[in-house]
Structure 1
Amino acid sequence: MYYELEVNAEEGYVRATATCDITRVIATQMTDGVFQMLRAENLEAGLIDVRNCRNVDAPSQNYQFANEDAAALKLRTTDRIAILAAPDDDSHDFVAIVMGNNGYNVHIFRDEEEALAWLKIT
């Protein structure tokens, strides 16, 4: 598996930690896993930790993920998704921007405490 999933029921979020560089296929699988777990646990907040992984796809693949794959997964625009990236890694920024432009509540963070604080906002 390319990622690990866990539920933090006490804090009210699902955490996905990527274990390899991210492609459109891996992003789709990981996103599907996060959203299935959010639905199963009746939660609306997810943290996707990609601090040790770069997005290695071309912008066109990122655009297709945000426009085609996200819609096919029937993602909820009411969920809050924090992408936690390394301070020196901007390879995930474009995906977060396009997702936001498509109405999804996705933000990118470089600091875990800030990401978790944002997820707790209701």
Structure 2
Amino acid sequence: MQKNSQRYKSNGHETIILAGAEYGSGSSRDWAAKGPMLLGVKAVIAKSFERIHRSNLVGMGIIPLCFKPGQDGDSLGLTGHERYTIDLPRNISDMRPGQDVTVVTDNGKSFTCTLRFDTE
């Protein structure tokens, strides 16, 4: 994982994680956010997040995004080999918890996710 993240970074590519339900559940939530941050992960797109872990991701500068209900990487045909563009507001002050954002892959797939900066 570390070698791949270094290769992506040296090629100018940022990294995201595609995840399933309750991403970040478990006993080491703090390191579960620190590890990806140290590897250069910029966002996690998941079906759902463990609440404390989601907050830890935000604290590490990683953007938590949720697939829309009924969607996940499999249903959208995502393999993890795509390059992703996440259409975030330009100014952080324009970002709102629960806001929808568009994600586009380099192979033309487009889908909507929800920003999960909320603390609920």
TM-score bracket, normalised by the shorter chain, equals: 0.3 to 0.5
Point out the structure with the larger helix share.
1
Decide which structure has the larger Cα Rg and report it. Answer: 2
With normalisation by structure 2, the TM-score equals 0.41
The TM-score, its normalising length taken from structure 1, stands at 0.40
